[in-house]
């Protein structure tokens, strides 16, 4: 039976924040997971190395359970914990230093990745482009704002993204940067698509065949864009690529409380009505023109070839089985 540990309040708060979506967005979740692991390591009070490792594994499992879909969460855990297993720890203090250093390294990498994605993605947009986006993605916002600073993009249509309305976060972020922002209902995407030149969205998970798991409504937006011959770009960090799908493992699609859609009183009055609230959907690779990562811009079919070097033993074991990446498949 697994021993239970008393966890620092900061770790519990981060877990609960991820679970209740007050901490949301796959990249932001990953960064907060790294912060939680750092806090956990710093808060360990014993001197037994084996006990410290069991404790950190316990914290990792606890954090992994917060949300099921975004692969950035387990990848962030793997990044930090794998570094504790690389050699023989001489002391708990050494383990703490390694965990804190790995967490800080991951956070810095993640923040820089968004910057690089913004710069690379902006090159894909053209002067006068009108953009549509969906939900809230720090990476997608980075692409659009970088393009705006280059004088390429001024007009953006932002889908509201029900039921949690993350589109409102994006609308504010883009308006604060000086863009001309129009917030539209999710159901109006096809109506406005004739005014749009590019679609830019984020990702929660990229699977082995290049399909993208993202906020519900993304696949419908990509389908509408394909019908209108509008290019679709996915902006995402490589730690959102899922190594587990290489062996056929499916990405679990989170289903949340029906009360996010209708209130308790309505449910009681209409008890014969079933309410289903999936949070994510899957966009096929053929509906995506390119995936913009901090390592380069790739066609979705090249997702298998992304060389992920620094995200833990589990990722390395999968990636080491892949053929070398071809230069022509990374386009700056």
Strands 290-293 and 296-298: antiparallel
Catalytic residue among 10, 129, 204, 332: 204
Going by C-alpha positions, the residue among 5, 7, 10 that lies closest to residue 35 is: 10
Catalytic residue among 10, 48, 57, 135: 135
Cα 52 to Cα 91: distance, rounded to the nearest angstrom: 9
Is 20 designated active site?
A: no
* Nearest-5° Cα angle at 189, 186 to 194: 165
Cα 20 to Cα 23: distance, rounded to the nearest angstrom: 8
Going by C-alpha positions, the residue among 73, 51, 48 that lies closest to residue 3 is: 51
Is 48 designated active site?
A: no
Q: Per residue, what are the HEC states of the chain?
A: CCCCCCCCHHHHHHHHHHHCCCCCCHHHHHHHHHHHHHHHHHHCCCCCHHHHHHHHHHHHHHHHCCCCCCCHHHHHHHHHHHHHCCCCCCCHHHHHHHHHHHHHHHHHHHHHHHHHHHHHHHCCCCCCEEEEEECCCHHHHHHHHHHHHCCCEEEEEEECCCCCCCHHHHHHHHHHCCCEEEEECHHHHHHHHCCCCEEEECCCEECCCCCEEEECCHHHHHHHHHHCCCEEEEECCHHHECHHHHHCCCCCCCECCHHHCCCHHHHHHCCCCCCCCECEEEECHHHCCEEEECCEEECHHHHHHCCCCCCCHHHHHHHCCCCCCCHHHCEC
Cα 23 to Cα 17: distance, rounded to the nearest angstrom: 5
Tell me which residues are annotated as active site: 135, 204
């Amino acid at each position: 039976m697994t021993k239970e540990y008393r966890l620092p309040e900061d770790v519990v708060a981060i877990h609960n924040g991820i679970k209740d979506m007050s901490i949301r967005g796959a990249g932001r979740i990953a960064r907060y997971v790294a912060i939680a692991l750092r806090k956990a390591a710093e808060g360990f009070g014993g001197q037994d190395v084996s006990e410290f490792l069991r404790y950190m594994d316990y914290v990792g499992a606890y954090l992994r359970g917060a949300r099921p879909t975004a692969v950035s969460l387990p990848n962030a855990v793997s990044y930090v914990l794998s570094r504790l297993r690389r050699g023989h720890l001489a002391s708990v203090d050494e383990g703490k230093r390694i965990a804190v250093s790995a967490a800080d390294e991951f956070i810095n990498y993640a923040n820089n990745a968004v910057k690089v994605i913004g710069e690379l993605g902006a090159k894909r947009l053209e002067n006068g482009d009108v953009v549509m986006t969906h939900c809230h993605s720090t990476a997608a916002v980075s692409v659009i704002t970088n393009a705006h600073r280059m004088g390429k993009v001024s007009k953006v249509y932002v889908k509201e993204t029900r039921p949690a309305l993350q589109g409102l976060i994006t609308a504010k972020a883009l308006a604060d940067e000086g863009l001309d922002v129009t917030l539209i209902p999710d159901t109006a995407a096809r109506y406005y698509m004739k005014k749009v030149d590019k679609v830019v969205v984020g990702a929660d998970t990229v699977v082995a065949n290049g399909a993208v798991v993202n906020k519900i409504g993304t696949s419908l937006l990509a389908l509408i864009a394909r019908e209108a011959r509008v290019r679709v770009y996915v902006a995402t960090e490589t730690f959102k690529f899922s190594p587990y799908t290489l062996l056929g493992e499916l990405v679990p699609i989170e289903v949340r409380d029906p009360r996010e859609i209708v209130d308790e009183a309505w449910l009681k009055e209409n008890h014969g009505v079933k309410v289903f609230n999936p949070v994510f959907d899957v966009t096929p690779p053929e509906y995506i023109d390119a995936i913009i990562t901090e390592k380069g811009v790739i066609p979705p079919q090249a997702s298998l070839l992304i060389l992920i070097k620094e995200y833990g033993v589990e990722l390395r074991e999968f990636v080491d089985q892949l053929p070398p990446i071809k230069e022509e498949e990374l386009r700056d």
